[in-house]
Structure 1
Amino acid sequence: MTGKPRRTREDYERGLPDHHDPTAGFGGAAPTYSALTLRAVLAVFGLLTSLAGVVIFILVLWLPWAATAFGVVAAVCVVDLAWVLHRKRRGEPG
């Protein structure tokens, strides 16, 4: 296989500078790191509020289309949270 060498756990523990910004380094910009813990907290908040929306729109207001929309948002939050937890288990800082 050709291409980039496989990264080790130590690489992820140190962080991957310039990983998310292909223009980093131009104009004196410092390397950035992802705030994974903040992203996980926001995903949990979004999941809980969207689940509350599903319950309210089904049981109280009986608006199934709105409950479906909140259910889709909840599913997106679950996928995002799973990906963030995967990256944190892999050893990335943040």
Structure 2
Amino acid sequence: MPQHPPGQPGPTGGRTGTEPVLARSALGLRLVISSVAVPLFAAVTVLLSIWASNSSETDTPSGTSLTVTAAVFGVLTLIALVDLVIVIRRRSRAREAAREARRRQD
């Protein structure tokens, strides 16, 4: 099997894009987005739930559609909350690794 030069696509699994070798997620941006999304989605979930409980059978939108929409926003709240926890843990680990690296240098 012929060898491809580094960085060239081929059967040897070389890099195929221009991404950095050590690409990292934008944790700061994810932290901001999740911090905004969790309370926003939670508030929408509560408001839709209240609206659904106060609606009658003849109202439009129906109580069922409001309940389903509230459930969807509830799931989005949970996803944003899980992402927020993951981001906080990753940032904490990164800070601890940086402290450890500084200790080793001293």
Which band: TM-score by shorter chain?
A: 0.5 to 0.7
Between 1 and 2, higher relative CO (CA 8 Å, sep ≥ 6) is seen in 1
Consecutive unaligned residues of structure 2, counting only runs of 5 or more, are 1-12, 54-65, 96-106
Give 1:53 deviation, angstroms. 1.1
| Structure 2 partner of 1:39 | 30
* Larger gyration radius, structure 1 or structure 2: 2
| Structure 2 partner of 1:20 | none
Give 1:26 deviation, angstroms. 5.5
| Structure 1 partner of 2:76 | 73
Name the TM-score, length of structure 1 as normaliser.
Answer: 0.60
| Number of aligned positions between the proteins | 70
Name the TM-score, length of structure 2 as normaliser.
Answer: 0.54
Consecutive unaligned residues of structure 1, counting only runs of 5 or more, are 1-22
| Structure 2 partner of 1:64 | 67
